[in-house]
Amino acid sequence: MKYKALSFFYITLLFITQMAAEDGSRLWLRQSTEKATQVIAPHPSPTLDIAVNELRQSWKGDPVLLTLKKDKALKPDGFRIYAENGKIRVISPTETGLLYASYHLLRLQATHKTTSQSFTHNTVFPLVSNPTYHLRILNHWDNLDRTIERGYAGQSLWNWEDLPHILSDRYKDYARANASIGINGTVLNNVNASPEILSTDYLQKVKALADVFRSYGLRVYLSVNFASPMALDSLSTADPLNKEVIRWWKSKVKEIYHLIPDFGGFLVKANSEGQPGPCDFGRTHADGANMLADALKPYNGIVMWRAFVYSPSDADRAKQAYLEFKPLDGQFRDNVIVQVKNGPVDFQPREPYSPLFTAMAHTPLMVEFQITQEYLGHSNHLAYLSPMWKEFFQFVPPHSLKAIAGVANIGTDVNWCGHSFGQANWYTFGRLAWDSSLSSEVIADEWLQQTFDLGESEVLKVRDLMLQSREAVVDYMMPLGLHHLFAWGHHYGPEPWCDIPGARPDWMPSYYHKADKNGIGFNRSSTGSHATAQYPEELANQYDHPDTCPEHYLLWFHHLPWTYQMKNGQTLWEKLCRHYDHGVQQVKEFQKTWDSLEEHIDAARFKEVQSRLKTQMRDAVWWKDACLLYFQQFSGMPIPYDLERPIHELEELKQIQLPINNYECPTGELLNTKR
């Protein structure tokens, strides 16, 4: 009997342990449900019921009174929290604002900014919080076959085959996660849009998702193919000034709003990378955007028109969006927002900001960040992106933008983002979209304290690792302003030697690095493509001269000799070598830091991150060896002898060929794959 009782005890303990095991699926929403508290709402509603349930399950403080009330200091989604007579008073003009406030209270609790006692004397309150942007939108590059362009965390969440009749539990979990960080919009499908998304059958599926998301304040948007009238109803044209085309779009918009009264609007990629657009019919981007805007206007819908355009031409690719859109400034309807990538080329590990942001004073603009790590090691590399986005805001004041968008890194993987630390970038995007003044340090602390069970000293260790991680990626991939050295097709590993016969020059790494015996870098100064002239005068003058150009942009704007003397007295070649080596050494330190935390991290997530750091280490050495051995052919100079030697041969590295597939993440076992 004792043996049976003991066996039962261990079986029960094992079951409890397995049930409590971490798999990352709870994201940063790991609040305990040990203690209920009194929560009073003004009335029952789907949104307020969520707020009440969240607080009743997890809030450990004083009773909470939720109140709908207009307040001159509050935007529609904003909220005020203060202590009064032993209660926490929460005020917002909208139910969604009260929901956001509820999640904020739980965030304060989880990050130890509140106590379990009365909050009357707590320095956290009174608190007023308003979003920086009214529109805080995720862009999913999800296809209808459930593949995800630049997705590295499994398939698309949206199971179109089962919709609208079968609703995954993850749809609600997704909406909840977004509400908890203030994201209020989601574009469901790829900007390379299939016209089929606007078919009646698919709109019924979209409606089913919108119905799930609505209570969480999450509004649905769709990417649309500009030639949809031709594809779906065999119109002979998609000319935006054609009356039949205009009538088609008005009818389609009416159909959408009949199904989804709070539908947000359209995202459009037009006349870019083979996508159809108004220019195919001799019209401008403004003509196309305005036609759609007019159809959406009666329903308060918007058009987000992407400025990511470049044509096969002799013009510097970094200049082309400016050249195409600057002349259209002031010509767009007031419900059109031009969506511009943060940099002028394409989500590189480091870019100067796109000059369009300071060139279109009469056009509402929104920034497009990329949360998914297309150019930063996919979901294999740890790269905390807040410092990158904060760097952008140093040049583009947040208040100058109308909205903010982020290309999502979310898929069907159990932990949502492939890499456990990929969750931090989703979280960070939402927090910066709500409050752009938050520092990278504060956001990292918040995420860590809510995601792991760490003490203060451990949080500091991992926070420092996170804060250094993006710069480490820049160092071992493309320091000093180098960019787009990626292998053909998948943007994962290095291939500075890449030369595909018949391919566009601006798809080749050599177009960007221009390495030769005389030096390296793209001359965008007044003696080259003169891209510097697209910036405000003060910056243009600074970027135009190597001696005043910031070193981290140096080879973005200048082609310089290998012997060019850097500010620290080293030659350009030596400084380049030391950056590559420094990136590798940092990843080694990341490994040491993470390994030292084994007893503080649950086993599953510890091993997952440890394994991915090993891959990142191999990749960092791969990048360093490939780039330095290749560029050394031109420089003719030795790698400084105090640095670690390359462990590969250049010809060996040239044989590596990964699958050209936008939808899968390489495994890191790179050197076993040959041409």
Q: Which residues are catalytic?
A: 273, 346, 374
206, 212 in Cβ contact below 8 A?
A: no
Which tokens is 166 given? 């079968």
Long-range pairs, 39-42, Cβ under 8 A, ≥24: 39/63, 39/64, 39/66, 40/64, 40/65, 40/66, 41/66, 41/98, 42/66, 42/67, 42/68
Concatenating the DSSP letter of every residue in 581-623 gives HHHHHHHHHHHHHHHTTGGGS-HHHHHHHHHHHHHHHHHHHHH
The neighbouring-strand residues paired with 161 are none
Give me the numbers of helices (H) and strands (E) for the chain, helices first please. 19, 13
Q: Which of 332, 215, 188, 338 is nearest to 270 (CA)?
A: 338
What's the farthest any 2 CA atoms get from each other in the chain?
Answer: 90
CB count, 10 Å around CB of 150?
A: 20
Percent of the chain that is helix, strand, coil (3-state, to 5): 45, 10, 45
- Integer Cα distance of 659 and 665 in angstroms: 10
Which tokens is 633 given? 């052919």
50, 175 in Cβ contact below 8 A?
A: no
**What's at 99, amino acid-wise?**
L
Which tokens is 219 given? 């509004």
What end-to-end distance do the CA atoms of the chain give, in Å?
Answer: 65
Rg (CA), the chain: 26
